[in-house]
Amino acid sequence: MKSLAELAEIRERMKDKIALREGNNEIRIVVGMATCGIAAGARPVLNAFVEGVNAQGLEDHVTVTQTGCIGICQYEPVVEVFQAGKDKVTYVKMTAEKAARVISEHIKGGKVVEEYTITYAKKA
């Protein structure tokens, strides 16, 4: 290495890989990963969220994590979004494609994707 620019380049490249350990908690996306969730396809959903958050460069503010059974197995895969000072949003029957839309519209844009939420699903 001969320059500061090269050092900065390594730093930028590595930062994403370390960010996980800093506990950035402005927004928490929690994927239900109990047996019911996994059986309904929660793993691709989880991966889609992790990849989407990183692809959009949101990893400084958003933590993607998992939890056990939430108790509404018929709606799995279930994803909950927590944000300080705001009501919890529960998305149901998620897919990788729906995850991409949630990231761009809700996580990034701040607008809840109503038709994926549990309130919408119950009404329908």
Q: Which of 41, 61, 82, 95 binds another protein (CB under 8 A)?
A: 82
Q: Which of 40, 63, 77, 103 binds another protein (CB under 8 A)?
A: 63
Encoding tokens for residue 29?
Answer: 């996306």
> Which CB atom, from 3 or from 124, has the smaller least distance to another protein?
3
| C-alpha span between 90 and 12 (Å, rounded) | 34
Asked whether the bond before 77 is cis by omega within 30 degrees of 0, the reply is: yes
Please name the residue ranges forming H helices in 2-107: 4-19, 35-39, 42-55, 96-101
Residues that bind another protein (CB under 8 A): 1-4, 7, 10-11, 13-15, 17-18, 20-21, 23-25, 28, 30-35, 37-38, 46-47, 50-51, 54, 63-68, 80, 82, 84-85, 88
